[in-house]
Structure 1
Amino acid sequence: MIEKTREYPKEIMILEAIVRRFPPDDFKKAEFEKKLYRKRAGYKGERTLDYFLEQIDHSEMLILHDLRIPVNSTHFQIDTLILTPYFLLIIDSKNYAGTLIFLPEFNQLIRVQNDIEEVFPDPILQTKIQASQLKAFLKKHHITSPPTENLVAISNAQSIIKNPTNDKEVSYRVFRSSNVAFKIPPFYQKHTQFLLSKNDMKKIARLLIKAHESLVPDPKSMNLPFDKLITGVQCPACETFGIVYHQGKWTCKSCGQKSKDAHFQALKDYFLIYGPSITSKQFREFMKVGSPSTAKRLLASMSLTFDGTTKGRIYFPGKSFFD
């Protein structure tokens, strides 16, 4: 059973909004585009693993995706955690392209792509650290952790995996995502002692879900040129900014496309970049809507919550606004 699903990361939503509204002639835009590309690739790899996990028998396991658990003054993250009555299993997903060379002696992963070598942290070591942090977290909550196993899933089907030292642990821990159904059964043969009832597993799952804190980066710490970011509503067809609201519809002067709800994405961008609240005046200025009554009507048409009187009202995104 999947106890915690994988949500589309807020971090990616924020980067998408920033890239969408970044001045095209600003040299820093490429930096944010590169970061967005990496984050999307990572998420795609995680979803690839999820796809193959969904095809196996879940009757004896609980699956939790995308955990971020506080520890001391920081957090530890787990891509996928599988709870079984006999053991826990941490799976970290990597979606790197190119040739991947595992060098466990130095705790390194070398990626060679287009004749360029890059060094990445050893993902096997990362999962070991995550297992240790998870054990400490459970101990803090008076739960004795069952044996914890760790795997590294390579989700990019085009990547080449190399283990030049023929290290046994690399061969044991690293696999392609499509092979996950065959990597889990050996752990049941290795760990045969029944340690967790279904209620115990549910208890651990609830504890972790309650402790989970999503990563929400603060755009104010990203050194953005806020005074240069593009405002206005974007055409959903040709992506031109500054389309006009008239007679209940947004109309693009560039391609003629009409839309009733193009302002939804614009308001999402505002919340993601500028913060979790907006006034009617800020809405008018950002959307380039002149009429206060029109702004009020558009704000009322969306799933927003609000505080204050009509004149000083502040609007906030509702629970389902970003779905």
Structure 2
Amino acid sequence: MIGKTREYPKEIMILETIVRRFPPDDFRKAEFEKKLYRKRAGYKGEKTLDYFLAQIDHSEMLILHDLRIPINSTHFQIDTLLITINFLLIIDSKNYTGTLIFLPEFNQLIRILNDIEEVFPDPILQTKIQASQLKTFLEKHHLTPSPIEYLVAISNTQALIKNPTNDKEVSYRVFRSSNVAFKLPPFYQKHTQPRLSKNDMKKIARHLVKAHEPFVPDPKSMNLPFDNMVQGVQCPACEAFGMDYHQGKWTCISCGHKSADAHIQALRDYFLIYGPSITSKQFREFMNVGSPSTAKRLLSSMDLTFDGTTKGRTYFPEKNFFD
């Protein structure tokens, strides 16, 4: 069963908003576009692994997706954790393109793409470290010890995987996501003795889910041109900014498309960039709405909580506002 689902990362939501509203003539926009591309690719690779995991029988295991666990003064992350009665299995997903050359002697992964060589950290070593950190976490919380295994899943079907030294560890630990069902039996053959009861499995899952701290970057630390970010409501049809609100509808000044709720995405953008609250005045300025009564009506119609009197009211998003 699934003990923790994979949610769309808040970090990607924030980067999407930044790219969408970054001043188009500012050269720094390209940096955020590149970072967003990498994060989206990583998430796509994780979802690819999830797809193939969903096809196997996991009635006798617990699957936790996307964990970020505090340890000392930092955190360690696990893309996917399988908890069985015999062992725990960490699977780290990589969505690299190009030719991937594993060089474990130097703990390196060489990626060749468009005749350009890049050096990446060894993902096998990364998952090995994650296994060690997970072991430390479990011991600290006096949880039943169990063997911890680890694998590296290559999700991009176009990647060419090479193991030039025929290293056994690379062959054993690295696989294509589509092959996940066939990577599990060897671990059951290796670890034949049950170590955990069903209650132990659930207890480990509860502790990890409770400890999970999702990464949410602070836009204020990104040196953004806040005063020059694009404001207004974006047209869901042509993606132009500057929709006008009249008689209960937003109308795009570029293509004429009409929408009743285009302001909801604009408000999500505001919360993601500028912070967790908004006043009626800030709403009017950001949405280019002139009427205070219209702003109040729109704010009251959404899934928001508020604090303060009617005149000085501040609005906050509910937890599911970004779903």
Instruction: Show the counterpart of 1:309.
Output: 309
Residue 59 of structure 1 aligns to a residue whose secondary structure is coil
Matched residues in 1 for 2:144 and 2:197: separation? Answer: 13
Task: Give deviations 1:202-254, integer Å, cap 9, x for gaps.
Answer: 01001000000011000010111111100000011111111100000000111
Instruction: Show the counterpart of 1:15.
Output: 15
Residue 89 of structure 1 aligns to a residue whose secondary structure is strand
**Structure 2 length as normaliser, TM-score?**
0.99
1:169-184 maps to which residues of 2 (within 5 A)?
169-184=169-184
Instruction: Show the counterpart of 1:203.
Output: 203
The letter for the 1-side match of 2:93 is S
Residue 227 of structure 2 aligns to a residue whose secondary structure is coil
1:97-116 maps to which residues of 2 (within 5 A)?
97-116=97-116
**How far apart are 1:144 and its partner, in Å?**
3.5
Aligned residues: 323
8 Å contact from structure 2 (residues 97, 158) kept in 1: yes
8 Å contact from structure 2 (residues 155, 177) kept in 1: yes
Matched residues in 1 for 2:313 and 2:227: separation? Answer: 25
Task: Give deviations 1:271-320, integer Å, cap 9, x for gaps.
Answer: 00001111111101100101000000000111001111111111111121
Instruction: Show the counterpart of 2:84.
Output: 84
**How far apart are 1:145 and its partner, in Å?**
2.4
Instruction: Show the counterpart of 1:293.
Output: 293
Matched residues in 2 for 1:128 and 1:182: separation? Answer: 21
Task: Give deviations 1:173-230, integer Å, cap 9, x for gaps.
Answer: 0000000000011100100111111111001001000000011000010111111100
**How far apart are 1:150 and its partner, in Å?**
0.3
1:264-303 maps to which residues of 2 (within 5 A)?
264-303=264-303
8 Å contact from structure 2 (residues 144, 200) kept in 1: no
8 Å contact from structure 2 (residues 145, 195) kept in 1: no
Instruction: Show the counterpart of 1:72.
Output: 72
**How far apart are 1:16 and its partner, in Å?**
0.2
Instruction: Show the counterpart of 1:124.
Output: 124
Matched residues in 1 for 2:145 and 2:63: separation? Answer: 16
The letter for the 1-side match of 2:149 is E
**How far apart are 1:59 and its partner, in Å?**
1.6
Residue 320 of structure 2 aligns to a residue whose secondary structure is coil
Moved >6 Å (runs of 4+): none
Matched residues in 1 for 2:312 and 2:275: separation? Answer: 18
**Are residues 1:6 and 2:37 paired?**
no
**Structure 1 length as normaliser, TM-score?**
0.99
**Are residues 1:50 and 2:70 paired?**
no
Identical-pair percentage: 85
**How far apart are 1:152 and its partner, in Å?**
0.1
**Are residues 1:191 and 2:191 paired?**
yes
Structure 2 segments unaligned to the other structure (5+ residues):
none
**How far apart are 1:111 and its partner, in Å?**
0.4
Structure 1 segments unaligned to the other structure (5+ residues):
none
**How far apart are 1:73 and its partner, in Å?**
1.0
Instruction: Show the counterpart of 2:231.
Output: 231
Instruction: Show the counterpart of 1:96.
Output: 96
Residue 77 of structure 1 aligns to a residue whose secondary structure is strand
Aligned CA RMSD, in angstroms, stands at 0.6
Residue 111 of structure 1 aligns to a residue whose secondary structure is strand
Matched residues in 2 for 1:59 and 1:235: separation? Answer: 45
1:215-254 maps to which residues of 2 (within 5 A)?
215-254=215-254
Matched residues in 1 for 2:306 and 2:102: separation? Answer: 53
Matched residues in 2 for 1:118 and 1:21: separation? Answer: 31
Instruction: Show the counterpart of 1:318.
Output: 318
